[in-house]
Amino acid sequence: MQKPPQLTCVMSYESACSLYQAGRRGGVYSHNFQSHWYNNIVITQQRGARDGSRTKEELEAHRVDYPALLATNEYPDQGCVGFLEKIRSLSKIEVPIYVAGNWTDPEVHLPGNIRAFQWRFFKGKREFLDYFLFDKKDNGMLDVPRIRLLQHHGTKTLYREDKTSFPPSDAEDVSFHLTPEKQLSLNHPAGQKQKLSYQGHGENMTFTLDSPFTESFEILGSPFLELEVSTSAEDLDLFIYLRVIDENEKTVVLKGNHGEPMDNFARGYFRLSHRDEVAKDFDKERVISQPPTPKSDVVPDQRYRVIVPIYPTAYLFDKGETLSLEIGSVNTPNTIPPMRHEGGDRVAERFEGENIILSHGRLVLPRVRR
């Protein structure tokens, strides 16, 4: 499967490498996006649909309800999803591969491309195809940087072309502690842990840096949270957003993957009943992989220590700017409809209840000095 004899090279531009992970980031099913994609791309392009050569009944008989398939098979060892996870083997790909990911599209494409890159290389598009398909060996392809990163800096970007690895090997983990006052502090909070409560399936809370950065602060890699949580509900979903607040106390707004305003530079999703799957190997690779792992039991009101990965990101803070962290049970209000996590298995019967995050947890940011 990974080594067809006619294959010369691969260009994987904003694709995915795991059917399961593409549909369940952190265990949370993205019903809106999967339904949007299936109804607008798959069904409309099905053979016999555009030319009318097949009836509606014939078309329905020759396709699978893909969103329902993902909703039904919740865990990576179930059904056809589990089968595909077993036969997929990125390490067997031996031909050159061009991989591209988008910092502003972590829900769909970015994590898969980062996973694929760990086995191969990032290269330049036209030069890549000319070199490997048309044997144009003098086009400078081998001089193209192995990794080209666009770093967000305010609403602008800049290139980082001297990287040899991702996540970067020289990144330093910096911990920001969650205080009872809902602040982020470099200092460990004094006193006892406090319960910070919010309603599951409806509310979010925000933590803000206790003082602006006193020097530039560059993030490159995969942030994560270490939290202690509980819920009175059957399960708990977390939606994580990192934001930049400028010197005028205004949120820095970037341009999203679809041209929409995006008021955050990093996001993460997490389901408590998938905590072992989500955390597995993250401490080694610093990229979420979600390998087949048994379901994690959830007992109402029991405390759990969890690792919550945030998807790979890049941002350069200026002196005087500050950081905001939103944690909650639903998407932030500015999320566009196709990217909202609604419907599917995200039902009130499973997630409504009191959610608690204990203070003294920490947000870990990978800092690089350039």
pLDDT tens by residue, 330-361: 999 888 888 889 988 999 999 999 999 999 99
The reported pLDDT for the residue numbered 1 is 58
Reported pTM: 0.88
Structure tokens at 30: 């993205």
What is the share, in percent, of the chain residues with pLDDT greater than 90?
51
67 to 27, 32, 33, 186: CA distances (angstroms): 15, 9, 9, 43
Q: What sign for the dihedral angle of Cα 69, 70, 72, 74?
A: positive
- Is the distance from CB of 230 to CB of 72 less than 8 angstroms? no
pLDDT of 106 over the 70 cut: no
CA distance 31 to 63: 18
Tokens 């819920």, residue located: 231
- Is the distance from CB of 364 to CB of 175 less than 8 angstroms? yes
CATH 2.60.120.260 residue spans of the chain? 172-368
Where is average pLDDT lowest: 142-146, 230-234, 250-254? 142-146
* 105-107-113 Cα angle (round to 5): 70
- Is the distance from CB of 253 to CB of 285 less than 8 angstroms? no
More confident residue, 113 or 195: 195
- The helix or strand, by DSSP H or E, that contains position 33, with its residue range, turns out to be helix 31-37
The reported pLDDT for the residue numbered 109 is 57
- Is the distance from CB of 189 to CB of 196 less than 8 angstroms? no
pLDDT of 116 over the 50 cut: no
Mean pLDDT of the chain: 87
Chain segment 34-93, per-residue pLDDT in tens: 899 899 988 999 999 999 999 999 999 999 888 888 888 888 877 777 767 777 777 777
Q: Which of 240, 234, 302 is nearest to 270 (CA)?
A: 240
Q: What sign for the dihedral angle of Cα 250, 254, 259, 262?
A: negative
Tokens 């039904």, residue located: 72
- 165: helix, coil or strand? coil
The reported pLDDT for the residue numbered 121 is 45
The reported pLDDT for the residue numbered 159 is 74
The reported pLDDT for the residue numbered 257 is 72
What confidence tier does 117 reach under pLDDT thresholds 50, 70, 90? Answer: very low
CATH topology of domain 172-368: Jelly Rolls (2.60.120)
The reported pLDDT for the residue numbered 118 is 44
The reported pLDDT for the residue numbered 113 is 54
Chain segment 283-324, per-residue pLDDT in tens: 888 888 888 888 999 999 999 999 999 988 999 999 999 999
What confidence tier does 138 reach under pLDDT thresholds 50, 70, 90? Answer: confident
The reported pLDDT for the residue numbered 237 is 98
- Is the distance from CB of 223 to CB of 364 less than 8 angstroms? yes
> Which amino acid, 347?
V
DSSP string, 67-112: HHHHHH--STTSHHHHHHHHH--GGG--S-EEEE--TT-TTTTHHH
Residue 368: count of CB within 10 angstroms of its CB: 20
CA distance 73 to 81: 7
More confident residue, 187 or 19: 187
CA distance 363 to 370: 22
What confidence tier does 114 reach under pLDDT thresholds 50, 70, 90? Answer: low
